[in-house]
Structure 1
């Protein structure tokens, strides 16, 4: 028997239940993993509270990211072996797989051997954040040296990943955060500048920092009224990526900026990358190379024990962290 977390009603962290379950042998195209660490994600909080893109099916499992050791291989799997140290990349629905367990099955296409130089905790923290940022900034945005990207909610794990990826390709990451408390932490994380939405003059600040040129990409998981100033900060041909909805209200679009600058405003989600084998292969190469070179390094805010999953979720919801929250199994 193996322990895993499920929930049978939406609500706060207290709805999480740790149960004993038998984990079957992996089916075709699957591997079974003895989990050593789990990376937590905002999507899991949204799913647990009933505010995600899909509704939970009870008893509901959850968990997109894990790292561990393969202990069994299903039919038709190639390129992976029993004993491999691997990470799981989010590329499936919670209704199909969940990583909050001591022993889990995962689709082999979403499993990658991670560099031996990193710990299981770092491996479990890496793939959601770096793949999400890679997809918008590199796969679709083609961010290049000398260009400016505005990164909202920059102290989140994905925001920190975007800062590192921008620096990796020689671009200029400007971090956007709510107040002054995280300014130094973001500068230490590699942001070239930090702007606060509390100041309410983002567009003017970006114009000043870029000598009037503006940014080419905005990477925003928040949305809401504050997105308008970020859209105004884009230069001609700029792209606004909305990859979350922390503010559920609609985005006001400044129409003359949209028309006059020929802007692109698009929704973006991780699964555009992780459900496409060719795009996922490019992401794996980029991220593994970045980790191996040390240019990409997942920042971990805090590590919790498996028995303290509810406390880990509560910390995630506090919004006080800078970086990734990891659960050690």
Structure 2
């Protein structure tokens, strides 16, 4: 028997339970991991609440990121062995491959031998944030030196990863956060400019920073009314990549700006990278090199014990964090 986190009904953090279950051994092509740390993601709160892109059969497990030691391998697995220290690339379905548990099983192609310099907490905080940032900014937008990029929800783990990723290719990073409470922390984290959207005129500040050139790339996790000022400050031919939708308000379609500037508004899921082997290998190379050189470095906000999973989810939904929330086992 092994302890896992499951929920038997949709709802708030209180529906999460730690239960003992019988986990089968890994099948052909699979790897079973003794989990040491979990990286928490907002997608898990949406699955728990019943508003995620997947609809689970209850009771359901959850979780997308983990790091640990290989416990056992299935038939046909050649590149890994029991005892290897590894981390997990988020699967396309956390219902099929849930991470929250003392043991978890994954297809071998989703397992990475992470750099030995990483501790368990850091290793569990790598892949979702950097794959998301890489896929949007590098694979899709082709961000490069001389570009200006706006990053909303900048104090989230993906926002911080996007700042580091953009800096790595020489772009000018403009972090957007709701208030100035996290402004200095964002500057310390590498943002070239920080705008507090609830306290400043977003369009005026973006125009002041970029001048007539405008913003070519926007990475947005919010949606809602912010679409209009963001697109108003974009350059001709610019691209806005939407990966979140955190705003509870309707998202207007900025028709005039889209037509006048021939803008691209694009939805994006990290599955576009994880589901394409060639793109995934390119992303892994970029991220592992960045981790090795120190240009990519996960920022851990707070660590909880496995037994505090309900408390960890409550904190995740508070929006108080700066960076990644990790659970240790």
TM-score (norm 2): 0.98
- Does the CA contact (< 8 Å) of 2:227 and 2:254 recur in 1? no
- Map of 1:231-310 to 2, 5 A cutoff? 231-310=231-310
1:162 match? 162
Unmatched tracts of structure 2, length 5 or more: none
Alignment of 1:6-21 (within 5 A): 6-21=6-21
Contact kept in structure 2, 1:87 and 1:114, CA below 8 Å: yes
CA displacement 1:115-161 (0-9 Å, x = unmatched): 00110100001110000010000011110012110000000000000
For the 8 Å contact 1:147–1:216, the answer to whether it is kept is yes
Q: State whether residues 35 and 101 of structure 2, in contact with CA within 8 Å, keep that contact through their aligned partners in structure 1.
A: yes
Count of aligned positions? 329
Q: What is the match of residue 179 of structure 1? A: 179
For 2:83 and 2:73, how far apart are their aligned partners in 1?
A: 10
Structure 2 counterparts to residues 60-209 of structure 1, below 5 A: 60-199=60-199, 201-209=201-209
| Conservation of the 8 A alpha-carbon contact between 1:35 and 1:66 | yes
CA distance in 1, matches of 2:224, 2:233: 16
Contact 1:149 1:218 in 2 (8 A): yes
CA distance in 2, matches of 1:148, 1:17: 45
Q: Distance in 1 between the 2:13 and 2:291 partners?
A: 32
User: 1:200 deviation in Å?
Assistant: 5.3
1:55 aligns with 2:55: yes
In the aligned structure 2, how far is the partner of 1:91 from the partner of 1:8? Answer: 22
Post-superposition shift, 1:248? Answer: 4.1
Could you tell me the TM-score, scaled by structure 1's length? 0.98
Q: 1: distance between equivalents of 2:268 and 2:249?
A: 17
CA contact (8 A) 1:35 1:101 kept: yes
Which segment drifts farther, 8-17 or 193-202? 193-202
The Cα RMSD (Å) is 1.1
Matched, 1:22 2:22: yes
Q: Secondary structure at the match of 1:181?
A: helix
